[in-house]
Amino acid sequence: MDIGRKIYYDRVTGNILVDTGQRTGHVQETTQEEDYTIYKALAERVPETVGCLQLEYGQYAQNFAECNGCCVNPDTLELEFSYPDPNDPESHEPVYRKPLSVEVDELKAADVENKQAIADLTMTMAAMMG
């Protein structure tokens, strides 16, 4: 059985309180109530102040492997990651943004749209000239 990670976060700040990690093999999924007894960071909190994102197994795996931090955007309730800046390796101030895997998918879709628009314009110009 493959179980995706649960991300528990502070509803106000978006700071991650607990990342259960993903699990595979002979494992059993836990309920949120069980997690509150297992994880001290949750047991110390009022449940209404904590949000939870349930991810699919492997979801954002590359982003987690490459990031140097993550949080939940309290406005969008989506995960945001910070990545090391290859041009400034000494920078310690995290800059959070949507997952790079999502940005790549968006850029690929925009590229296809742009190529289609260029092809349409080329056909229109050819029809006008010929």
pTM here? 0.74
pLDDT at 21: 94
Q: Is the pLDDT of residue 4 over 80?
A: yes
Q: Please indicate, yes or no, whether residues 10 and 33 belong to a single structural domain of this protein.
A: yes
Report the number of distinct structural domains present in the chain: 2
Name which of 14-18, 36-40, 43-47, 115-119 the model is least confident about.
Answer: 115-119
**Average pLDDT over every residue of 22-51:** 95
Instruction: Report the C-alpha gap between 125 and 103 in whole angstroms.
Output: 33
Residues 41 and 65 in one domain: yes
| Residue span of the structural domain in which 15 resides | 2-98
Q: Which DSSP string do the residues of 88-104 spell out, in sequence order?
A: -TT--S---BS-HHHHH
Q: Within this chain, do residues 67 and 118 fall inside the same structural domain, yes or no?
A: no
Whether residues 12 and 52 share a domain: the answer is yes
What is the per-residue pLDDT across 69-108, written as a single tens digit (0 to 9) for each? 999 999 999 999 998 887 877 777 777 777 777 888 888 8
Q: Is the dihedral of CA 58, 98, 68, 10 positive or negative?
A: negative
Per the prediction, the chain carries an average pLDDT of 90
Contact 84, 68 (CB under 8 A): yes
> 52 and 72: one domain?
yes
pLDDT the model gives residue 127: 84
- Rounded mean pLDDT, 20-28: 93
Adjacent-strand bridge partners of 9: 16, 51
High-pLDDT (> 70) share of the chain, %: 98
